[in-house]
Amino acid sequence: MKRTTTSRKSRTDIKRLKSMKEADIVVDKDAPAWTPKMFARAIVRKGLKPTPRKSLLSLRIDPDVLAWFRGRGRGYQSRMNALLRAYMEAHK
């Protein structure tokens, strides 16, 4: 599955946005309002190096181990990666 990233060059018309007045901005009534907690978790990527892409790998995992990770829901591959990273960092 191909994922889009935020590291691509923005296609936003910045000049047009900067020239807009407050009255020109249309508010989406269906969009939830941003909370302070949402702002605290936001990540600003401008000026940062893009995160390195992960390598695609075929790996044999015991069925019970895979079932355990999958049983924890979405993101199981990321959790497996995090555990492998923690092991790597601990054994440097």
Q: pTM score, two decimals?
A: 0.46
40 is a domain residue: no
Q: Give a yes or no: residue 47 inside a domain.
A: no
Helix intervals (H) in 1-92: 14-19, 36-41, 63-70, 76-90
Q: Is there a domain that residue 68 lies in?
A: yes
Range of the domain at 75: 54-92
> H or E segment at 49?
none
Task: List per-residue pLDDT tens for the chain, 92 residues long.
Answer: 566 666 667 778 888 888 988 888 888 888 888 889 988 888 777 777 777 888 999 999 999 999 999 999 999 999 999 999 999 999 99
Q: Which residues of 33-56 are buried (b: 16+ CB within 10 A; e: fewer)?
A: eeeeeeeeeeeeeeeeeeeeeeee
What's the structural domain count of the chain? 1
Own/partner contacts of 34-37, CB < 8 Å, gap of 24 or more, are none
